[in-house]
Structure 1
Amino acid sequence: MPRRDSALPREFWARPDIAAALATCDLPGVLEGVRAAQGWSQQELAAAVGYSQSWVSRVVNRQQSLTVEQVRDLAGRLGIPIHLLRFADTAAPERGAGPTKRREFGRVITAAALAVPVAPPPGDIGDHTAPTLRAITGGQRRLDASCPARDLAAGARAHVELTARTLARARRTPFAADIAAAAGEAAGFAAWLHADMDDTGTARAHYRSAVRAARLAGHPLLGAYMLGSLAFFETDNGDAAAGLELAGEAGRLVGAGAHPTAAAWLACVRAVAHAALGEPRAADRAIAAAEAAVARRDNADPPWPWVFPFDAAKVAGYRALAAVRLDRPADARRAFTEAFGQAAPAAKQRGVLMVEMARAHLAAGDVDEAFRLAGEALDVGLRHGSDRLVSRVRGLRRSYRGAPARCLGDLDDRLADALAL
């Protein structure tokens, strides 16, 4: 019989996977996390909550819906912090649903994820505050895969304001550093959304806020993550010298003993900046350093705030980006094939890589394949409401000065339609 008084540590509820499940009231995910953390079998979990094993099995396998009363009962029996649960509709939008249905789902779930008071009473700040704020950001990040950035941006900005106000009130409390880290995450996500909206000025402002909050938190990995994100953003927007300087600062922050995920990612960010500056040897050295880091045995569980390990497929994607900027179309195409063959990037990232792959084909003289890929990237951009992606396809089309080609007519018509939306 499992012990019901063996409470899990507070840090458990702040784990990214658990915080994200709490943010969307994903009880099956929370239950499975608790079971694994306690080392229980499913039968022992059933005994702990006082339900039959068959009922618990249906819940964990998402075959049994729960009432609000049952959620509260399970939370009480397992010590799940009820104040962290956001009672939202956790049903995913049906497969094949159009953009309108996805946007409606996004608005509903985002509103639920933000259902916290904007100005909580002063005595409410405690050790639960930062995990709650981070859980909201985690829920928003999950939605980014299926919702247009414009549908999430207003909620993300409101959350940035909430975390900033909470941090201001918590400055003289023992919880200030953790809340500053939550504020950094919120600002970083808002920056990502505005970058996807092709709003570079607002994105840059949010990235800088994220860096300041990370410094206030005193967390080197978070600081490096935000500096590295800003570095890639600057490089991607034409200031590779600033990007390289920021990437170097991020590397100094984590030091020589950095986790391999952090070391590999920062090396890739440097590689793309070196390539954009026309420095092939430095770019190649940085890619080699990234490949060595991902091959390390301890490159397993990624450190917060990274969500996924940085693996060989991701390095291949950056190697391809560097090759495009170094005018090495054959190398770029091989690297893109490797990146797509080993893993399936998220939709928006896949679209960005398609545009870059199209540039490599165009440089190699393969016009038809280049604009076929550009058309696919445009589909992704329109489907996911990514202004950045649509803008990049437009930029690729404007860069072509060759002879008229049959493949361009349809793309031109679709780009014109996209501008009229």
Structure 2
Amino acid sequence: MAAALATCDMAVVIEGVRTARGWSQGDLARAAGYSQSWVSRVINGRQSLTAEQIQDVAERLGVPLHLLRFGGVPSREGPTVLGPGGTKGVGLTRRRDFGRAVAAGAFLTVGGPAGAGEQGSVDESTAPALRTITSGQRRMDASSSARHLLPGAAAHVHLSEQMLANAHGTPFRTDLSAAASEASGFAAWLHADQGATEAARTHYRNAVLRARQARIRLLDVYMLGSLAVFEIEVAEAPELGLALVHEAEHVLGRSAHPTARAWLSCTGALAHAGVGDRAAAARAIRRAEQEVDRPGNTDPPWPWVFAFDHTKVAGARAKVEVRLQRPEEARKAFAEAHARRPASAKQSALLQVELASAHVDAGEVEEAFRLVDEALSTGLRFDSRRLVARVHSFRKAYRGPGALCVREFDRRMEALVRGTAAG
């Protein structure tokens, strides 16, 4: 038992408690507050535990937390998962395939077996299943219309909130708060793409609220930063975005993962550029570059999927330079950002509109309108109202000469308004 405590081998610890007290597995499950099947999987080494689950089970079974060598309290950096023997395991979300999660989600929708109580529809698999559904929807966003994804995402938010309500008084509430936060954050993104700014803002606010209920600092920062990006780039309110970045920086602290710090610094740079503060924007970009170069910037922390590298910093720098009306610097940064890894089609099109503004500032009208014409085609193909609106804003802001390319673009826009344009 001493060795198991020292290595946080919860399978041995839990089985040791059961044996010492003469309990059956059913007795143990009732004392721990989990299902008997879950307890059986833990004892047999087939079930990984989050740090919060370890703390919860230990407290319920009377195991002193200071004897468990995993830091004493759950990490607020995110859902670290500990496998048998205390080793850092793979998160449950990544280990469950999308098909199984959809099946679990369908089961949860009807509330479990007939006659089960509301809390009976919630167990240790509920939050991982919900998260995996959100992850699958996010992957589909790269190649699907937000209009097609939005009904399913909205239903998923409703399901996540229902499961969270059912979890009241159970040890699963914290994990379900995190799952509900992710679902709301994705729904907010889709609403923003469809031009529904108030609905997007409402979902982002709920995502922040649920992240704070989950007591996961990085998720809180991720949702605050996402709301800041929305205010800066969609709502065109950089002052509000900057205030949100400052709040997220306060929550994040100085010892966070480099990916999180680099991403938040780039978001802050966009906000500073939006209010015209060149010096502050440049400092934020330099901080992001320094964070990217840190040795620890390898595996990104949840909920980030990819590490923030120099390519992504270059993309942020390009958008900053566009906002500061420095076309040559913007074009160099865009070239650096696209040299190694292309973005998704919709993200590339949004960047094309940004780059078109830089070409206009440099007097290269034909290239600018070639880019926005391609971006418009992408916006129509994916039915992205956000992208089409960005193209409209570009044309409205253009005050240059009426070249042939401008007249041809205007004819296309007129045909689009009449409903006769092809994508």
TM superposition score category, shorter chain reference: 0.7 to 0.9
Question: Counterparts of 1:96-245 in structure 2 under 5 Å?
Answer: 116-117=108-109, 119-120=111-112, 121-236=118-233, 237-245=235-243
Match of 1:341 among 335, 339, 342: 339
Q: Flag structure 1 segments of 5+ consecutive residues without an equivalent.
A: 26-83, 88-111
Once the 2 structures are TM-superposed, how far is the Cα of residue 416 of structure 1 from its aligned partner? 3.1
8 Å contact from structure 2 (residues 101, 130) kept in 1: no
Match of 2:363 among 362, 365, 384: 365
Counterparts in 2 of 1:292 and 1:131: CA distance versus 1, 3 Å: same
Moved more, 291-300 or 401-410: 401-410
The answer to whether residue 325 in structure 2 is matched with residue 309 in structure 1 is: no
Alignment RMSD: 1.8
Aligned to 1:104: none
Q: Note closer, same or farther for the CA distance 1:202–1:85 as it changes in structure 2 (3 Å cut).
A: closer
3-state SS of the aligned residue for 1:86?
helix
- The residue type equivalent to 1:217 in the other structure is A
Residue of 375, 378, 388 corresponding to 1:377 = 375
1:320 corresponds in structure 2 to: 318
Find the aligned partners of 2:106 and 2:120 in 1 and give their Cα distance.
20
CA apart distance, 1:16? 4.4
Q: Name the residue aligned to 2:244.
A: 246
Aligned equivalent of 2:327: 329
Matched residues in 1 for 2:302 and 2:173: separation? Answer: 18
Mapped to 2, the partners of 1:175 and 1:286 lie a distance apart of: 38
Structure 2 counterpart of 1:288? 286
- AA aligned to 2:213 is L
Match of 1:399 in 2: 397
Pairs aligned (count): 332
Structure with max Cα Rg: 2
Paired letter, 1:356? E
For 1:17 and 1:303, locate their aligned partners in 2 and report how far apart those are by CA, in whole Å: 13
Q: Which residue identity does 1:329 align to in structure 2?
A: P
Q: Is the 8 A contact 2:189 2:200 kept in 1?
A: yes
Q: Is the 8 A contact 1:114 1:136 kept in 2?
A: no
2:273 match:
275
1:131 aligns to what SS in structure 2? helix
Amino acid at match of 1:245: A
Residue 259 of structure 1 and its aligned partner are, at CA, apart by 0.4
Q: Secondary structure at the match of 1:304?
A: coil
Aligned residues of 1:272 and 1:321 also touching (Cα < 8 A): yes
| Cα pair 2:331 2:358 within 8 Å, conserved | yes
Q: TM-score under structure 1 normalisation?
A: 0.75
Paired-residue identity, %: 49
TM-score (norm 2): 0.75
Conserved 8 A contact 2:105-2:129? no
Counterpart Cα distance in 2 of 1:137 and 1:363? 40
The one-letter amino acid of 1:233's match is: F
Could you tell me which amino acid in structure 2 is paired with residue 143 of structure 1?
M
**Deviations for 1:236-285, whole angstroms, at most 9, x for unmatched residues?**
12211111111111111110011011000000000000011110000000
Deviations 1:288-347 (A, max 9, x none): 000011111111111000011111011011101111111111111111111111211111
* CA 13–139 in structure 1, closer or farther in 2 if over 3 Å, else same: farther
- Verify the 8 A CA contact 1:113 1:139 in the aligned structure 2: no
Residues in 2 aligned to 1:333 and 1:253: alpha-carbon distance in whole angstroms: 34
Give the C-alpha shift of residue 115 in structure 1.
Answer: 6.8
Distance in 2 (CA, whole Å) between partners of 1:270 and 1:363 is 24
Unaligned runs of 5+ in 2: 1-43, 50-80, 82-88, 113-117
- The answer to whether the 8 Å contact 1:267/1:287 transfers is yes
State the Cα deviation string for residues 356-402 of structure 1 (Å, max 9, x = none): 00011111111001111101111211122211101111111111122
Q: Does 1:86 align with 2:73?
A: no
Partner of 2:259: 261
